[in-house]
Structure 1
Amino acid sequence: MSKSKPHLHAFVSRGANLGEMLFPHIHEDGTYVVSKTRFKGDYVHLAAEDEILPWLEKGYGLRMSNPDMGIRAPSLIMPESIYRPVKV
């Protein structure tokens, strides 16, 4: 049985794209980025989306975007604003 993706998402909280959904941003090198700050020197690159949840639980933010809706620049979204899957 294959492992399903965590389906992480958030919503834009201000500006022209208010209310649009954001998803984990895939960088040019194919990785996802978590960080405690917005500075590139603090980035932690993750190879797979299923590696993200443990970092969110440690308080790291996640770079998120939605290119399909024109939101190409990845924003650092803090863990308390990211919706996670619920185990039932």
Structure 2
Amino acid sequence: MKVFAKVSRGRQKGEIVTPHRHEDGTYVVSPTRFEKDYVYVPTLEAFVSEIRKGLKGRMSSHIVKGPRLFSPSSIHIEC
């Protein structure tokens, strides 16, 4: 499964990002940008499931270091 988004503004405009994986192996989805609302999911499949339910996903890359929150409409999922 391939999950990605493209940065649409700022210095990294056009860069491809993928779901940000934390040191403990989890991914983050959230209804808002606030940390108190973060939902940690254990797998990429769970991440995709939550994105399809309408939650936003935190994504990054080796160039875009700080994870950013992307809306479901900006996230591309290829099976």
Shift of 1:63: 0.2
Shift of 1:52: 1.4
More strand by share: 2
Structure 1: which 5+ runs fail to align? 1-5
- Structure with higher RCO (Cα < 8 A, 6+ apart): 2
| Alignment pair present for 1:82 and 2:75 | yes
Shift of 1:51: 1.1
Q: How many residues align?
A: 79
- TM-score relative to the length of structure 2: 0.93
| Alignment pair present for 1:72 and 2:74 | no
Structure 2: which 5+ runs fail to align? none
User: What is the aligned partner in structure 1 of residue 10 from structure 2?
Assistant: 15
| Alignment pair present for 1:34 and 2:3 | no
Secondary structure, counterpart of 1:8 in structure 2? strand
Secondary structure, counterpart of 2:45 in structure 1? helix
- TM-score relative to the length of structure 1: 0.84
Match of 1:59 among 54, 63, 66: 54
Letter in 2 for 1:8: V
CA RMSD of aligned residues (A): 1.0
Identity over the aligned pairs, expressed in percent? 43
Q: Give deviations 1:3-34, integer Å, cap 9, x for gaps.
A: xxx21000000111111100000112221000
List, as ranges, runs of 4+ consecutive aligned residues in structure 1 with deviation greater than 3 Å.
none
Letter in 2 for 1:10: A
